[in-house]
Amino acid sequence: MSVGKKQPVMLIVTGTLSVSPHDLSRFIAGVGDMAAVVRNRSGNLAYDIAVLDAAEGRVLVAERWRDEAALAAHLRDEQTTAFLSRWATRLQGEVRVFDTVNERRLEAVGC
């Protein structure tokens, strides 16, 4: 590796969100529609949301992106901005972006 040349860093986006239990099924359906498109975007490695507690409307967000440019392009995309605008006032929680280096298998679970 040459000195001073920055390697692309994979990003992990993860955290929890809460939405009204009354809106949960609509939110999950919307995420499903988004996922079908987002998973085919350049630089997307994973895009998933799992319901942690339906009664509370709590979900887990888990995304992986090849690099900052791929995530930035996703966040600028018209479909992404429309979805986020539609739900922004109805979501609470904390989602963070983590820079990763030294990715490796988790041998304890064999994958």
Global confidence as pTM? 0.87
Quick one: three-class SS letters along 32-77?
HHHHHHHCCCCCEEEEEEEEEECCCCEEEEEEEECCHHHHHHHHHC
Q: pLDDT (tens digit, 9 = 90+) per residue, 43-64?
A: 999 999 999 999 999 999 999 9
Segment (H or E) for 31:
helix 24-38
Give the model's pLDDT for residue 103: 83
Give 63-102 pLDDT, tens digit per residue. Answer: 999 999 999 999 999 999 999 999 999 999 999 999 998 8
Predicted confidence at residue 6, as pLDDT, reads 65
